[in-house]
Structure 1
Amino acid sequence: MQDDTNPLDTVSPMEEHRFPCDQCGADMRFNAAAGELVCDHCGNVTKIEGHGGHVSAIQELDFRAALDAKLPEAEIEETRVAKCPNCGAQVEFDEKTHAKECPFCATPVVTDTGVHRHIKPKGLLPFGVEERAAHEAMNKWLGKLWFAPNGLQQYARKGRRMSGIYVPYWTFDADTKSRYTGEHGTVYYVTKTVMRDGKQMQVQEQRVRWRPAAGTVKRFFDDVLVLASRSLPKNFTDNLAPWDLAALEPYRPEYLAGYRAEGYSVELPDGYDEARRYMDQVILRDVKFDIGGDRQRVHSVNTTVRDVTFKHILLPVWLAAYKYRGKTYRFVVNGRTGKVQGERPWSWIKITIAVVLGLIVAGVVGYVASQAQ
């Protein structure tokens, strides 16, 4: 920002996410089921302008301009966030809150007063699953776990509140053209006479006839999704997919009312590197398909990438953290579909009892069988 005055000196970093009820003054929250702001104090309802009916596409930003620090200043914002010393999550808190529990790992966090400058979100998927439904989905998932400690089931029954978090992601678009060299393989068989067990036999031996191949493949990549958070295991977030990105809404702070938003910790260049690794895998499959035949060898692929654009988006998850014997276990629920992923502890007491009971049953069965003879 060109102005020497920092607006964050006088404005709470969470103020834009708070919407006082115009009837009673209490904070309103975004209701996932209704898609509108509701006041739990007096029941007042406020519709979100344009919710569910946006016509224009969400604007993509120029990747090269971002690398050269030439994005319009309107695309940049500054916030104060709390950084968790355990998992590294950067979550915005009310400036009046001096200590809080990290929603990602349940570690006590002291709020930070540092200013963080980052690229604004361009879009988000609003929560579509309420906390109660997310809790029911998590309880159902926990109930299916074998040999889980009793404390885990007690945790589920207590109904401890879950945290609704908007997790940051990057999406990338790119137009690619790849020139390749390789070999096209055709499988054929020859008949050979061999000796087996002192007898002559004829067998079919597989061989591959190779011939040179070269060509060009083109592909446009749209919305390659890259997690921009280091707070959650990537396998968790990958397994929460699919996300209905076609339903992305233009970013409006009203959607964050009653929730928290995590700041991105994977910088844009690192996010693009991961997107490129995904693109390269897809391009390699395209090359093999273009070579054709029964087998393929790829010697080289030279890809030209043009017109790279990106956007910063927020996707909704419900989080719960449970500590068992000093270790934190996390449960994540897709805030759109209710799909659950999580870490789980094992109760070695239950496992030992099960093994002992199994041995006893096996012994009894063996004894009865021997007596029957």
Structure 2
Amino acid sequence: MDERRNWPCNACGADLRYEPGATELVCDHCGARQAIPDAPKARTRALNEIDLDRGLADDLPAAQMEEVRITPCPSCGAQVEFHGATHATECPFCATPVAIGTGEERRIKPQAVLPFVLNESQAREAMTNWLGSLWFAPNGLQDYARKGRALTGIYVPFWTFDAATRSHYAGARGDHYYETRTVTRNGRTETEQVRRTRWSARSGWVSRRFDDVVILASTSLPRNYTDGLQPWDLSQLQPWRDDWLAGFIAEGYTVPLADGHGMAREVMADAIRDDVRQDIGGDEQRIDHIDTDWSGETFKHILLPVWMAAYKYNGKSYRFVVNGQTGKVQGERPWSAWKIAFAVILALVVAGAIFAFTQGR
């Protein structure tokens, strides 16, 4: 985790911060604003892909690598990065103090960043609205979240992967048909329709081009949380500059490129299986095997904006994440015991009333 970086204001020397939804840094002390250089220009530099084979072979140009001082959080394992003269900080995921270790590590430099669009108050509103929409969520937690501690803005590391695929498959197509049969029940002869399936062998080819399969490159957050924040509008990616991080935190990746590539291949394989089922057709499909040729594989290392909140309420910990671009929310599902109990009692009362009414009739 990269501690908050400081950018001095040219007017008064106070710290600047990036203003979500803008292309400038703001001084909260004197109100001065400083434009981020090149921010409005074309984003093609941020969207250039890197050859995957070279990345996996650790054969990238020096300009695409950086040396960082990293120490894992002793509590949650988040990667804490240190810059300049900083020797200690606090892990934003679990508030554990972290002191600098020894040595540096060579890592792939972030290639692009998706700047925050929502500010903290907008993210908090999205989170409390989400909590309010949940059935059986405790009202007190929603009120506490609205008034509780500040949300933390974090740039979370991700990999994106591209690939061209051509897959040969073999399987079978199942088509339903119905037969009429005669049965005897309770002394009565009846006819009924019985569904059967006629199977026929199938084989063929399917092709697909994958573009920007997004894979979480961190182990600090549950993957299902960040997967649930999709989709991201990656057309808004900006070429990497430290300025976008002013006032925010950036996490270093803990999922190596090779592991991220393996996860991406699983996502792509699921999509290929769906293509095969559609190509086979029929009412049911059976897939015996799929052989895929992969080509043109590339990747990017990017940072995406996430607002995070962690609360302790009635002795339980709850963690929520908000997409800093769209406001989509994911988190631990809170339950209200008394609301559930009330619903069960109400259901029993209604069922008893219906039973009494039918017995009376």
Shorter-chain TM-score bucket reads: 0.7 to 0.9
Q: Report the AA paired with residue 30 of structure 1.
A: Y
How far apart are 1:124 and its partner, in Å?
1.5
Change in 2 beyond 3 A, CA 1:30/1:149: same
> Aligned partners of 1:131 and 1:92: how far apart in 2?
24
Q: Report the AA paired with residue 253 of structure 1.
A: D
Corresponding residue for 1:313?
302
Corresponding residue for 2:10?
22
Corresponding residue for 1:148?
138
Corresponding residue for 1:260?
249
Tell whether 2:117 aligns with 1:128: yes
Change in 2 beyond 3 A, CA 1:88/1:338: same
How far apart are 1:161 and its partner, in Å?
2.0
The worse-fitting range, judged by mean Cα deviation, of 27-36 and 141-150 is: 141-150
Corresponding residue for 2:26?
38
Contact persistence 2:70–2:100 (CA under 8 A) = yes
Contact persistence 2:225–2:330 (CA under 8 A) = yes
Contact persistence 1:172–1:310 (CA under 8 A) = yes
Change in 2 beyond 3 A, CA 1:59/1:139: same
How far apart are 1:34 and its partner, in Å?
2.4
Change in 2 beyond 3 A, CA 1:199/1:153: closer
Change in 2 beyond 3 A, CA 1:324/1:80: farther
How far apart are 1:154 and its partner, in Å?
6.3
> Aligned partners of 1:326 and 1:105: how far apart in 2?
16
> Aligned partners of 1:106 and 1:321: how far apart in 2?
10
In the superposition, the TM-score normalised over structure 1's length comes to 0.84
Q: Report the AA paired with residue 37 of structure 1.
A: L
> Aligned partners of 1:331 and 1:116: how far apart in 2?
31
Q: Find the residue that maps to 1:178 and give its secondary structure.
A: strand
The worse-fitting range, judged by mean Cα deviation, of 52-61 and 315-324 is: 52-61
Q: Find the residue that maps to 1:290 and give its secondary structure.
A: helix
The worse-fitting range, judged by mean Cα deviation, of 309-318 and 138-147 is: 138-147
Corresponding residue for 1:272?
261
- Of the candidates 83, 87, 102, which is equivalent to residue 72 of structure 2? 83
> Aligned partners of 2:144 and 2:190: how far apart in 1?
68
> Aligned partners of 1:329 and 1:105: how far apart in 2?
12
Change in 2 beyond 3 A, CA 1:156/1:112: farther
Q: Report the AA paired with residue 343 of structure 1.
A: E
Corresponding residue for 2:38?
50
Give CA deviations for 1:189-225 in whole Å, capped at 9, x if unaligned: 2222222332332322222222211111111110011
Contact persistence 1:52–1:249 (CA under 8 A) = no
Give matches, 1:99-138, under 5 Å.
Answer: 99-138=88-127
How far apart are 1:99 and its partner, in Å?
4.2
Change in 2 beyond 3 A, CA 1:328/1:113: farther
Give CA deviations for 1:58-92 in whole Å, capped at 9, x if unaligned: 21111111111211111111112342222211133
Give matches, 1:289-308, under 5 Å.
Answer: 289-308=278-297
Q: Report the AA paired with residue 201 of structure 1.
A: E
In the superposition, the TM-score normalised over structure 2's length comes to 0.86
Give CA deviations for 1:30-57 in whole Å, capped at 9, x if unaligned: 1113221112222221212332441525
Contact persistence 2:3–2:80 (CA under 8 A) = no
Change in 2 beyond 3 A, CA 1:339/1:148: same
Change in 2 beyond 3 A, CA 1:275/1:248: same
Corresponding residue for 1:6?
none
How far apart are 1:142 and its partner, in Å?
4.1
> Aligned partners of 1:325 and 1:126: how far apart in 2?
35
Q: Find the residue that maps to 1:28 and give its secondary structure.
A: strand
> Aligned partners of 1:156 and 1:82: how far apart in 2?
31
How far apart are 1:115 and its partner, in Å?
1.9
Tell whether 2:232 aligns with 1:217: no
Contact persistence 1:104–1:330 (CA under 8 A) = no
Contact persistence 1:105–1:328 (CA under 8 A) = no
> Aligned partners of 1:320 and 1:189: how far apart in 2?
56
How far apart are 1:345 and its partner, in Å?
5.1
Change in 2 beyond 3 A, CA 1:207/1:94: same
Give CA deviations for 1:134-159 in whole Å, capped at 9, x if unaligned: 22323334455645384x45643544
Tell whether 2:248 aligns with 1:248: no
Contact persistence 1:92–1:260 (CA under 8 A) = no
Q: Find the residue that maps to 2:268 and give its secondary structure.
A: helix
Compute the RMSD of aligned alpha carbons: 3.0
Change in 2 beyond 3 A, CA 1:346/1:97: farther
The worse-fitting range, judged by mean Cα deviation, of 152-161 and 27-36 is: 152-161
Tell whether 2:199 aligns with 1:205: no
Q: Find the residue that maps to 1:330 and give its secondary structure.
A: strand
> Aligned partners of 2:48 and 2:237: how far apart in 1?
11
Q: Report the AA paired with residue 32 of structure 1.
A: P
* Percentage identity across paired residues of the two chains: 53
Task: List alignment gaps of at least 5 residues for structure 2.
Answer: none
